[in-house]
Amino acid sequence: AQSVSQHNHHVILSEAASLELGCNYSYGGTVNLFWYVQYPGQHLQLLLKYFSGDPLVKGIKGFEAEFIKSKFSFNLRKPSVQWSDTAEYFCAVNARSSYKLIFGSGTRLLVRP
Amino acid sequence: DARVTQTPRHKVTEMGQEVTMRCQPILGHNTVFWYRQTMMQGLELLAYFRNRAPLDDSGMPKDRFSAEMPDATLATLKIQPSEPRDSAVYFCASGLALPGGTEAFFGQGTRLTVV
């Protein structure tokens, strides 16, 4: 069965700081990988996804993630965060054989102005 | 603008009552997921369907929860009888399962409070 681990539960940064959120997954087969964002009181929105090809994926709002297959990792990065990036971030893995979509426990990001 | 529609948005009910949550997936999507979100457990996958057939409902308490897709435009999640520990936000998501993968689009959620 697949699983997802997000290492940081809470992250506090100042505006313009760089961001990296860790995500590791466990699954022996082929997977698709996602990062979703949930702003306070809202639903989940897709930030970016990896299906195949270039392991460096660029998403919306300046976010990017790198798939490192040997490390089973899919870390999210942003060079310079803004106050509006305050939200909860979820990593998710979708096993291609079953289409089951499993989420990590989430990372709450607070960006101080 | 295509979106997943969930009703009701908020529901307060008394313990022991039946609760039905509805989801209208995006037209043309063939995969529907139900998730429950709580502070303690995060996002839990309750059940998911592909082409209206249930593929996995192992995340759902079978004695009180049931999920169905009466047709391609409607998915339902029922709790009977409801308990205070069922209080949570329930999200529906839909996607189009393709050979390369499936991207899920989420609804606004139903915030359920059982008193």
Q: What is the pLDDT of residues B16-63, one digit of tens each?
A: 999 999 999 999 999 999 999 998 889 999 999 999 999 988 889 889
Chain segment A68-109, per-residue pLDDT in tens: 999 999 999 999 999 999 999 999 998 877 778 899 999 999
Q: Would you state the pLDDT for residue B92?
A: 97
- For residue B99, the tally of other CB atoms under 10 A from its CB is 6
Residue of B43, B44, B51 to mutate when probing chain A, most A C-beta within 10 A: B43
Q: Which residues contact B91 (CB under 8 A, 6 or more apart)?
A: A43, A44, B6, B34, B35, B36, B37, B43, B106, B107, B109
Range of weakest confidence among A25-29, A64-68, B74-78:
A25-29
Would the pLDDT of A7 be above 90? no
Q: Which of B47, B1, B7 is nearest to B26 (CA)?
A: B1
- For residue A32, the tally of other CB atoms under 10 A from its CB is 20
Residue of A99, A103, A107, A108 to mutate when probing chain B, most B C-beta within 10 A: A99
Chain A / chain B CB contacts < 8 angstroms? 57
Spatial contact of A112 and A12, defined as CB atoms under 8 Å apart: yes
Residue A7, CA distances (Å) to A46, A89, A105 in order: 20, 12, 9
Looking at CA atoms only, how far is residue A102 from chain B in angstroms?
Answer: 7
Mean of all residue pLDDT scores within chain B: 94
Would the pLDDT of B1 be above 70? no
Range of weakest confidence among A55-69, A78-92, B67-81, B97-111:
B97-111
Structure tokens at B87: 């209080």
Question: How many whole angstroms from its chain centre is CA A80?
Answer: 16
Check CB contact under 8 Å for A101 and B105.
Answer: no
| More confidently predicted of A41 and B34 | B34
Q: Would you state the pLDDT for residue A79?
A: 97
- For residue A62, the tally of other CB atoms under 10 A from its CB is 14
Sign of the C-alpha dihedral computed for residues A11, A16, A17 and A20 taken in this order: positive
Task: Return the residue matching tokens 């529907």.
Answer: B32
Please give the DSSP secondary-structure letter assigned to residue B52.
T
